Amino acid sequence: MTVGAVVEPVAVRLRRLDLASSEPADVLERSVLYRRGAVPDEAVRRGARAILDDIRTRGVAAVVDAGTRYGGALADGRLRVERSELRAARDRLDPATRRALDQAIENVTTFAATQRPANSTTRVLPGIEIERRWLPLDRVGCYVPGGLAPYPSSLVMTVVPARVAGVREILIASPADTSGAVDPVLLGAAGLLEVDGLLVAGGAQAIGAFAFGLPDATPPIEPVDRIVGPGNAWVAAAKLEVAGIVGIDLPAGPSEGMVLADETADPVLVAADLVTQAEHGPDSPAILVTTSPALADSVEREIAALLPRLERRAILARALAVHGRIAIAPDLDAAITFVDAYAPEHLSIDVRDPDAAAARIRHAGSIFIGPWAPESAGDYATGANHVLPTGGLARSADPLSVEAFGRHTQIQRVDEHGLAAIRETVGRLATAEGLTAHRYAVEARFRGPADAEPEGGRHGADRGDAW
């Protein structure tokens, strides 16, 4: 854009929803929004399944072929960037960018450090103790979107909690851009965090390499224990397909932004927050929920004035035209009911008493309180994680955290007195289920070998008698 050029506003009209309406069509539209889901359509899932099957069979050759067909491969044909190259990229970062990455890493680490679960031991009965022990995973794969735009911030958000958890090996996958290169800031961020390797691949092929491993690669890539990170529909579809083989975080869909505002909000700030998440892609919803029709009109005018000044204005215009909404509520109660039913990924609250409103919200991935808390602050540097549940999954799923990079195991300690205390309970319930071997395993411990043989097989079990 030429310096000094006159910037003309563009016509922007977001679809309006009347939350007071009980008309069947309006009720149905709201219901569709509430149950929109984050799962890609079946055609994408079939395509992802085919890529995964090919990788399981042919390994490296299949990943290379997919990179050639769909993009995301390095120009020189290599599949992996090693730690030495990542460290060199770290050392080439300009000082200002390195300071920004250092602060983001520090803040995310500070918040993540509060999340590591503690071990616990419970005495159920005298002689029965159960320990719940938390253990970090051995190996994880972090997917970082790339290709059209680099996302070093997503690398920070996925790798830092894994580091805090104590994961032994952390691999990154991210596609190269259209020229066959990986963004130098992303490489430098990987070097700062000392990741163990970067797989240059995108989409379903990257997920397949993580899930199945690439034993024919040089050096070999072992399967990971869990795959985390945001991605496009192909990444989400592939993660769902491998979920029975490897752990996943969640099938993240398009980024979502919602603003809850009343007549006290500044329309300039509301407009800025709405376009923030819509900037991610043409399928990203941006929704204003307000009790003020006057604010709604002002926000539309501000968006129209803002769009021509933004680099991704074409993407923004498409996202807002197709997925932009303004929901007009008769009162704050109705507005909050709509927000909770929608369960947004990001929710900005700019009303007269934002903390009181936030206390009533049960379903949202990450909530931003007041006019000084833009969503972009959380995307980069507050320390909160920006890998969040989308598609309504905020009803049941967490933001990415340290807990995602470990698991609990149960350790049961039982002595003779403890087993005696539950002996009859085990015997009766095992008998009720017809599992006489289960009952025998308890009774055998209270008798000598000669006395422990079951008497009459199922006959004794039918009577409910001891052996």
Q: Active-site residues: which are they? A: 345-346
Query: Are 402 and 164 in contact, with CB atoms under 8 Å apart?
Result: yes
* Cis status, amide bond into 126, omega within 30 of 0: no
The span from the CA of 125 to the CA of 217, in Å, is: 53
Pairing of the two strands 226-228 and 197-199: unpaired
**Closest C-alpha to 342, from 402, 275, 390:** 390
> Which residue is it, tokens 């800025």?
272
Side chain identity, residue 70: Y
Q: Determine phi and psi for 197, rounding to 5 degrees.
A: 170, 155
Token pair 């002002």 is at which residue? 298
Contact 47, 234 (CB under 8 A): yes
- Provide the pairing of β-strand 80-81 with 286-290: unpaired
Which residue's entry shows tokens 């066959």?
180
Question: Strand 324-328 vs strand 346-350: parallel, antiparallel, or unpaired?
Answer: unpaired
Q: Which helix (H) or strand (E) holds 336?
A: helix 332-342
